[in-house]
């Protein structure tokens, strides 16, 4: 790093901080952080750092920067929207945010992250503002914490299957269970597999 021009060294230090915190900056964000007139200047620095082996770039990914040696333990995860820990809410799919996280934080490996809104799962340690990892599957066992879609809206709750009835149980006594009626549109979107608390 001592042999790098000062500005390139500053870009590398910035990228190392961001990537270590689980954020992979876009070229536009790098340009904005350094006051570059265009993304081209940021791209030249990134390409030079990749060429020197100080960064690696995952082809075809919008935020494909990673630290060398991150290897298979680093998992890029998109934040796809919000999930209710309370009354179900619509998911705002398509948020432009991606985090690079250690896959050992999760079991099984998640396919995406959702931001929790509400406090119905606090007794399970899932708090408002947490990012929950979701493993995409339509199958879940009784007692698992799931992300479910009820009449087009998402919620995170503990699944309870009883005789011909499905209940979604909160983990906060201030909230009532959601009883899924036979005529409701219901689907399990995935199972909870861990969380990240930022800040």
Q: What percent of the chain has pLDDT over 90?
A: 43
Phi and psi at 196, nearest 5°, equal -130, 135
104-159 confidence digits (pLDDT tens): 778 888 888 899 999 999 999 999 999 999 999 999 999 999 999 999 899 999 99
pLDDT at 1: 47
Tell me how far apart the alpha carbons of residues 48 and 59 are, in angstroms, rounded to a whole number: 16
Per-residue pLDDT band for 90 (boundaries 50, 70, 90) equals low
Higher pLDDT, residue 163 or 94: 163
Closest-CA residue to 12 (of 59, 52, 39, 72):
52
Q: Are 151 and 127 in contact (CB under 8 A)?
A: no
pLDDT at 56: 84
pLDDT at 73: 61
List the catalytic residue out of 44, 62, 107, 120.
120
List the catalytic residue out of 26, 44, 107, 157.
157
Tell me how far apart the alpha carbons of residues 169 and 188 are, in angstroms, rounded to a whole number: 14
Check if 44 is active-site: no
- State the average pLDDT over residues 14-22: 78
Other Cβ atoms less than 10 A from the Cβ of 166: the count is 19
For the chain, what's the residue count?
199
Helix axes 39-51, 6-20, angle to 10 degrees: 80
Q: Are 164 and 198 in contact (CB under 8 A)?
A: no
pLDDT at 32: 92
Check if 26 is active-site: no
């Amino acid at each position: 790093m001592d042999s790098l021009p000062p500005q390139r060294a500053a870009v590398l230090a910035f990228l190392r901080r961001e990537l270590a915190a689980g954020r992979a900056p876009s070229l536009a964000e790098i340009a904005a952080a350094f006051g570059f007139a265009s993304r081209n200047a940021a791209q030249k620095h990134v390409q030079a750092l990749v060429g020197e082996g100080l960064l690696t770039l995952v082809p075809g990914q919008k935020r494909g920067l990673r630290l060398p040696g991150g290897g298979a333990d680093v998992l890029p995860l998109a934040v796809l929207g919000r999930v209710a820990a309370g009354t179900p809410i619509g998911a705002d799919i398509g948020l432009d945010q991606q985090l690079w996280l250690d896959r050992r934080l999760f079991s099984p490996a998640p396919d995406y992250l959702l931001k929790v809104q509400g406090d119905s799962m606090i007794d399970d340690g899932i708090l408002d503002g947490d990012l929950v990892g979701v493993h995409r599957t339509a199958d879940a066992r009784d007692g698992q914490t799931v992300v479910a879609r009820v009449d087009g809206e998402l919620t995170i709750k503990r699944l309870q299957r009883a005789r011909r009835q499905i209940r979604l149980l909160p983990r906060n006594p201030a909230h009532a269970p959601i009883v899924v009626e036979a005529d409701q549109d219901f689907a399990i979107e995935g199972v909870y597999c861990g969380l990240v608390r930022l800040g």
